[in-house]
Structure 1
Amino acid sequence: MTTATTEPRQLKPEELSTLVKAFREARQWSQEQLAEIAGLSTRTVQRVEEGQSSSLDTRRALAGAFGFDDIDAFNKPYVIPTNEQMAAEKARFEKERVTLKAVPLESGKQLGKLVEGTSANMFSEAAGMPQATEQRFAQLTDFCREYSDCSDLYSATDKLDVYAGLDDMVADLAKDGFTLVGATREVMMKTPGSESGIRVNIVYVVAFPKGQEAENLAVPRAVHFG
Structure 2
Amino acid sequence: MSATEKTQPRLLTPEELGLVVKIHRELRQWSQEQLGELSGLSTRTIQRVEGGKPSDLDTRRALARAFDLEDIDAFNKPYVIPSEDELKAAKEEFDRENITLPVLPLSTGKELASLVELASMDLSTPAFELSREADERFAELIDHFRDYRDCADCYSQRDKFAIYDELQEHIDALKVLEVSLRYAIRKMIVKGAIPEAKPVPVKVLYVIAFPLGKEPTEIATPRSMPLGW
- Normalised TM-score (structure 1): 0.75
- What SS does the aligned partner of 1:142 have? helix
Q: Which residue of 2 aligns with 1:212?
A: 214
Q: Which residue of 1 aligns with 2:82?
A: 82
Against the structure 1 CA distance between its residues 88 and 154, is the aligned structure 2 distance closer, same or farther, given a 3 Å change threshold?
same
Against the structure 1 CA distance between its residues 116 and 59, is the aligned structure 2 distance closer, same or farther, given a 3 Å change threshold?
farther
Q: How does 1:13-162 map to 2 (within 5 A)?
A: 13-19=14-20, 34-39=31-36, 45=47, 47-54=48-55, 57=59, 60=62, 68-70=67-69, 75-77=75-77, 79-83=79-83, 84-162=85-163
Against the structure 1 CA distance between its residues 110 and 222, is the aligned structure 2 distance closer, same or farther, given a 3 Å change threshold?
same
Against the structure 1 CA distance between its residues 43 and 215, is the aligned structure 2 distance closer, same or farther, given a 3 Å change threshold?
farther
Against the structure 1 CA distance between its residues 38 and 24, is the aligned structure 2 distance closer, same or farther, given a 3 Å change threshold?
closer
Cα RMSD for the two superposed structures: 3.4
Q: Which one has a bigger Cα radius of gyration?
A: 2
Paired AA for residue 7 in structure 2: A
Q: Which residue of 2 aligns with 1:4?
A: 7
User: How many matched pairs?
Assistant: 213
Q: Which residue of 2 aligns with 1:179?
A: 180
Paired AA for residue 150 in structure 1: C
Aligned-partner Cα distance in 1 for 2:112–2:14 = 43
Q: Which moved more, 1:104-113 or 1:92-101?
A: 104-113
Deviation at 1:22, TM superposition (A): 5.4
Percent of pairs identical after alignment?
A: 33
Against the structure 1 CA distance between its residues 209 and 69, is the aligned structure 2 distance closer, same or farther, given a 3 Å change threshold?
farther
For the 8 Å contact 2:190–2:202, the answer to whether it is kept is: yes
Structure 1 residue runs of 5 or longer lacking an equivalent are none
Aligned-partner Cα distance in 1 for 2:189–2:97 = 17
- Normalised TM-score (structure 2): 0.74
